[in-house]
Amino acid sequence: MASAHDFTFTTIDNKPLDMKSFAGRPVLLVNVASFCGFTPQYKDLQKLHETHGPNGLVVLGVPSNDFGAQEPKTEPEIAAFCEKNYGVTFPLTSKQKVVGLDAHGLYQWISNEAGEAAAPKWNFHKYLFDKGGKLVGSWPSKVGPLSPEITGAVQMALAG
């Protein structure tokens, strides 16, 4: 596997989501959960989507129950929660494992590419892929979506 574009997900409403469809656009991949102390970051992820989406940024949320069982709900419940509480309009995948041997292939690839230390340690870990699908940034949960580190990296990725 050469890039993030080599992977596929299923959307939260059960449609195929081929990462190749994002070729030419940077992607901020975030494993999300509805019952986490970091859940309010949905608001800033939505703001990032609204601000930089028109310029090409894709914010992609990946619901996961891997950390503290903080995403126990079904896909329809997760989608409704995100829309009602945070006005989320960026794409969400179906619920995924993001750590361990049965993690989604993209998360396994990230760990192989960047080392085991790059695997998410908690909900709302963020990864930035450039327009070619190359991993160009990784931030732990405590670094907010609108932090200068992330917005700066997003602007660089958009610039090409």
Res 160: pLDDT: 87
Res 1: pLDDT: 55
Q: Which domain holds residue 37?
A: 4-9+28-159
Res 115: pLDDT: 86
Domain count within the chain: 1
Ordered mean pLDDT values, 10 residues apiece, the chain (160 residues): 91 97 97 97 98 97 97 97 97 97 95 89 97 96 98 96
| Residue 23 maps to a domain | no
Residues with catalytic roles: 85
Which domain CATH number covers 74?
3.40.30.10
| Residue 99 maps to a domain | yes
| Residue 75 maps to a domain | yes
Q: Tokens representing 117?
A: 């230390």
Q: Would you tell me how many other CB atoms lie within 10 Å of the CB of residue 140? A: 12
| Residue 19 maps to a domain | no
Helix ranges (DSSP H) in 55-98: 75-86
Global pTM reads 0.97
Res 117: pLDDT: 86
Say how far apart CA 12 and CA 117 lie, in whole Å.
28
